[in-house]
Amino acid sequence: MLHLLSLVVSVCAHLVHGAAPQTPLHHSDYTSISPSESASVSDNNPSFIFRSVNGLLRQLPNTFSPNGFSVVPATIPAFTNLYHARKDSGPIPKVEWVAFDAEMSYGIMGGRGGETWMHTYMTTRDVRVLVFDGMSAALMGERGTLDSQKVFLYGEVKNDTGRRPGREGGGGHGEPGPVFDEYTRAEDLCRWAASLEGARIEGFVRMNAGFEAVWCDFENSDSWKLVSKLNVTAPAKAIDRLLDTPPDRRPPGGPPYGPPRDGRGVPWSNAAVWEWIRSATWHYSLSPESRVIPDTCRFFTYYSPDFASFPHDLTTRKDFSHRLVNVTKEDAAAFKAQIGESLVATDMPCSGLDWQRVTQDIMERYGGRIKELEIVLSSNTTNATTKAEKAGILAFGGIMPFVSDSKRDGAQERCSTAYTAFIPEGSLSPQEVLLRHTVEQVVGRICQLFISVYFEQLEHPPSEYGVLGWKRNTVELVEWLDWDMWRRCERQCAWDEVCAVPLWPVLGMFDWDERITPECVNSTVLQNRRRSPPGKNWAVLHA
């Protein structure tokens, strides 16, 4: 059964207060207000939308922004292996969880005592699923990771009921964990999917320490075949230690609570969890979960101006602190309806552009230059003349394809629309209209900085005052963009290490007000984890 999934989704809405009535967009039965017809996107929201698209199915971006606000249909390709570990070899309930990495599935169940069985499946055709961003499988409802799923199912962020005592995720100490209703949420979500005739949604993908999927029909699905069902219990020499574990205290039919935390089955239990952590790091930033292919033509987000009850002029740029607690039931229902409508529509336009690839291209082209510019302008060892010269060279590298004869004329427009200028208007879905606007806003801000630095360096003598202005603008841009590529391990990790951040439920928790920096850690981090009381910070865990 796969770890604690709390039901994927990010949810509902499309009411725009004071906006014009909905009008069809190039087709007969698919309607939506495009951003150009509704309130304009605020100064902050394009950066949030950009990061959400870029972070789809990537571990680090969703860890840094754990409270998801977006949902996107996706495809699991044919001939993909999926894994389901459990403590018995008997029949599997209709609704259950699968992992994309065997290490994740085994990490949940392998150290718990008794036998462990690994069921391996392979898809026989493309399988349609929905993906919910953020750490949507991290069962920390009071922190907001479950907001989008609760709003999708109930129209509001309601408190979980019937929670068993224990640490977050279960375990016997600490705060109660909101896991009791996991199967209820999964079944409700699958029931919604089944109600959409023609949508063929067979599962929901979420993330905590790795990516998993709610699979809606283990019993009758013809989209996969059972490859093997093997007893993968730890070797005999570890059994005596594993048999000493207390009995499973889950309520009947309850979901798993994550790996044991008190050293049971060490070192075999530690090894199972360590391999789980290792597999999670495969999908950090540059390597998304490639076994799930998002359809960004149908990218839905609460950061869209379509949803008036979610703030569009956010006063904080810290998206990890955003919540859906004030979203109205009208917006929730409208968002949910938009998703369902798009899934069954047969004539919705789609440009075919991979918007996640576009955002990645932009980050690769500009990310290093922006940070280098910040470093150059922040140097305490060089004078204004040297800083200005280096800054001008860096800025020119970013805008070189868009500047003719060293003149400003037209450079800003050419630069900001470099990725979108020739996309046929009628080919865009309503969601792509928002993404086009987002890309142009983000690239436009970057171009504006580089153009300003380059031409001011050419046109005016260097001065400390001018350099300070460039530095201020660069720092503000870095804070506004907040790209995860700028938070990384500062050295190449050794072969027995991984570059990791705290991941629920295997590496403890951290204060949502902290910005955690990835660190190279080895398996001893698990020994520290087992010795440390819940709530210890990242520095303590990897010390």
Given a cut of 90, whether residue 366 has pLDDT beyond it is yes
Does 176 lie in the same domain as 293? Answer: yes
d(CA 108, CA 497): 21
Q: Which residue has the tokens 């208007």?
A: 425
Tell me whether residue 331 is in a domain.
no
DSSP string, 462-478: --HHHHHHHHHHHHHHH
Does 463 lie in the same domain as 503? Answer: no
Over the Cα atoms of the chain, what is R_g? 24
pLDDT in the model for residue 511? 53
d(CA 147, CA 141): 7
Does 504 lie in the same domain as 435? Answer: no
DSSP string, 38-58: SPPP-SSHHHHHHHHHHTTT-
Does 361 lie in the same domain as 340? Answer: no
Burial 307-336 (b: 16+ CB within 10 A, else e): bbbbbbebeebebbebebeebbebbbbbbb
237 pLDDT band (50/70/90 cuts)?
low
pLDDT in the model for residue 536? 47
Collect all residues with Cβ–Cβ distance below 8 Å to 342 and sequence separation of at least 6. Answer: 30, 73, 298, 300, 348, 429, 431
Given a cut of 60, whether residue 119 has pLDDT beyond it is yes
Of 280, 311, 344, which marks where a domain is finished?
344
- What residue type is 531 in one-letter code? R
Q: Where are the alpha helices (DSSP H) in 121-233?
A: 147-154, 182-194
pLDDT in the model for residue 540? 46
Strand segments (E) across 250-398: 293-294, 300-301
Nearest to 67 by CA among 11, 2, 14, 130: 11
Between 22 and 260, name the one with better pLDDT: 260
Given a cut of 70, whether residue 10 has pLDDT beyond it is no
Tell me whether residue 223 is in a domain.
yes
29-74: pLDDT as tens digits? 333 333 333 334 456 689 999 999 999 999 888 888 888 889 999 9
Counting residues of the chain whose pLDDT is more than 90, the rounded percentage is 43
pLDDT in the model for residue 42? 55
Tell me whether residue 50 is in a domain.
no
Tell me whether residue 350 is in a domain.
no
Tell me whether residue 262 is in a domain.
yes
Tell me whether residue 88 is in a domain.
yes
Of 282, 315, 344, which marks where a domain is finished?
344
Q: How many domains does the chain have?
A: 3
263 pLDDT band (50/70/90 cuts)?
very low
pLDDT in the model for residue 513? 54
Q: Which residue has the tokens 């391999």?
A: 275
428 pLDDT band (50/70/90 cuts)?
very high
Tell me whether residue 100 is in a domain.
yes
Does 293 lie in the same domain as 188? Answer: yes
Does 200 lie in the same domain as 63? Answer: yes
Give 187-193 contacts, CB < 8 A, sequence gap 24+: 187/95, 188/7, 188/153, 189/7, 189/8, 189/9, 189/149, 189/152, 189/153, 189/214, 190/95, 190/214, 190/216, 190/217, 192/153, 192/340, 193/130
Does 510 lie in the same domain as 407? Answer: no
Q: State which residues form the domain around 194.
A: 55-141+163-300+336-344
Does 106 lie in the same domain as 77? Answer: yes
Does 502 lie in the same domain as 404? Answer: no
Does 455 lie in the same domain as 367? Answer: yes
146-158: pLDDT as tens digits? 888 888 888 888 7
Tell me whether residue 433 is in a domain.
yes
- Segment among 82-91, 178-187, 412-421 with least mean pLDDT: 178-187
Of 464, 486, 508, which marks where a domain is finished?
486
Q: What value does the mean pLDDT take over residues 110-121?
A: 84
Find residue 407's DSSP bridge partners: 404
304-339: pLDDT as tens digits? 888 877 765 454 556 566 777 788 889 889 999 999
Please provide residue 456's backbone torsions phi and psi, each rounded to the nearest 5 degrees: -65, -35
Does 445 lie in the same domain as 505? Answer: no
Distances (CA, A) of 517 to 4, 61, 234, 316, 451: 25, 12, 34, 20, 31
pLDDT in the model for residue 298? 94
Does 275 lie in the same domain as 239? Answer: yes
Q: Where are the alpha helices (DSSP H) in 379-429?
A: 384-399, 411-416
Q: What value does the mean pLDDT take over residues 133-153?
A: 80
pLDDT in the model for residue 17? 34
Given a cut of 50, whether residue 166 has pLDDT beyond it is no
Given a cut of 90, whether residue 111 has pLDDT beyond it is no
